[in-house]
């Protein structure tokens, strides 16, 4: 298997940015942050500046949103991608954004620096093969009830098409517990680091589902060996069009970054 440690001894390091000075899977814990959804130009510029100031290297924001209800906000689509590209031009931050449909891979790849495959699409094999055919890094999220082996096999679909830049993302799995949105599988981090040379990213926002849980989960992830984090941040979480309950305000994100850096230095 291409993802396995037997296939490659060294860790896969993914370089991003222009100049390409952001390295995922290297020495530093890399943080991606931004709103769940791109909601408009001003909120994206404000969020990008705030999270960059706090130390985030990549900007996240969904333009195509996989909502549980077809009546909920579905994202801004290509207009959202254009906003992301404009923010990158201004701030230099690489962009991570979701692609949901094999027919939109080319479009999303033309704007994004990292193509996110959402949890609900972890086993959308045609989509995985399609992102495998373009030379853009992929952030592959673990399915809601995906095993670690299934996550690795999903990555294999991308790798087998020739795209070697895959990051794996633990974002919590569905369990019987309801106090949290999902259950963050901390053990998945050292298991994956042992099994694969691919970078491991953790999403404490979708794992916990509540803002007060995000920092403790982020710290646990870094202590357990995560290569990076993806965190939802919004200028006004109460008014967010999606995932407001789990989104951090700018000040809370700044504090998270200080604590993350302290844990990263300590391990």
Query: Quick one: 36 or 56, whose CB is closer to ligand PEP?
Result: 36
Say which entry of ligand PEP, Mn ion, none residue 234 contacts (CB below 5 to 8 A, set by partner kind): none
CA 149 to CA 155: how far, in whole Å?
10
66 part of the interface to ligand PEP, by CB under 6 A = yes
Coil, helix or strand at residue 37: strand
Binding-site string for Mn ion from residue 205 to residue 244, where x marks contact by CB under 5 A and - marks none: --------------------------------------x-
Over the window 238 to 257, marking each residue x when it contacts Mn ion by CB under 5 A and - when it does not, the resulting string is -----x--------------
d(CA 44, CA 41): 5
Piece of 25-33, 44-52, 73-81, 118-126 that binds ligand PEP (CB under 6 A): 118-126
Binding mask 23-62 for ligand PEP (x = CB under 6 A): -------------x-------------------------x
Closest CB 197 distance from ligand PEP, rounded Å: 23
* Rounded-to-integer distance, Cα 199 and Cα 140, Å: 11
210 binds ligand PEP (CB under 6 A): no
Closest separation between CB of residue 203 and ligand PEP, Å? 6
State which of positions 77-116 bind ligand PEP (CB under 6 A). none
Residue 109 in the binding site for Mn ion (CB under 5 A): no
Residue nearest to ligand PEP (CB): 118
Question: Is the four-CA dihedral 253, 144, 37, 86 of positive or negative sign?
Answer: positive
DSSP code of residue 11: P
Which H or E element spans position 84? helix 78-91
Tell the smallest beta-carbon distance from residue 250 to Mn ion (Å).
17
* Torsion-angle region of 17 (φ positive above 0: left; ψ -120 to 50: alpha; else: beta): left
- Is the separation of the CB atoms in 244 and 233 below 8 Å? no
Helices (H), 112-249: 125-132, 148-159, 188-195, 204-208, 211-223
Evaluate the omega torsion of the peptide bond into residue 49 and state whether it is cis, within 30 degrees of 0. Answer: no
Binding site for ligand PEP (CB under 6 A): 36, 62, 66, 118-120, 141, 171, 203, 206
């Amino acid at each position: 298997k291409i993802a396995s440690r037997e296939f490659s001894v060294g860790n896969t390091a993914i370089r991003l940015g222009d100049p390409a000075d952001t390295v995922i899977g290297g020495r530093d814990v890399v943080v991606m942050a931004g709103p769940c959804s791109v909601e408009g130009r001003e909120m994206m510029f404000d969020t990008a500046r705030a999270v960059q100031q706090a130390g985030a290297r990549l900007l996240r924001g969904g333009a195509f949103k996989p909502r549980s209800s077809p009546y909920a906000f579905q994202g801004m689509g290509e207009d959202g991608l254009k906003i992301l590209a404009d923010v990158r031009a201004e701030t230099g931050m690489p962009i991570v954004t979701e692609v949901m449909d094999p027919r939109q891979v080319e479009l999303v790849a033309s704007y994004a620096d990292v193509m996110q495959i959402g949890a609900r699409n972890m086993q959308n094999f045609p989509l995985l093969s399609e992102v495998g055919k373009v030379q853009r890094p992929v952030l592959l999220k673990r399915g809601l009830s995906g095993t670690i082996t299934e996550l690795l096999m999903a990555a294999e679909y991308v790798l087998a098409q020739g795209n070697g830049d895959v990051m794996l993302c633990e974002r919590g799995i569905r369990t019987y517990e309801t106090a949290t949105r999902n259950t963050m599988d901390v053990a998945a981090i050292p298991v994956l680091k042992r099994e694969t040379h691919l970078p491991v990213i953790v999403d404490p926002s979708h794992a916990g589902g509540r803002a007060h849980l995000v920092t403790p989960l982020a710290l646990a992830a870094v202590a357990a060996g995560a290569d990076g984090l993806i965190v939802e941040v919004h200028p006004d979480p109460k008014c967010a069009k999606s995932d407001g309950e789990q989104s951090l305000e700018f000040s809370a994100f700044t504090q998270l970054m200080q604590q993350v850096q302290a844990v990263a230095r300590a391990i």
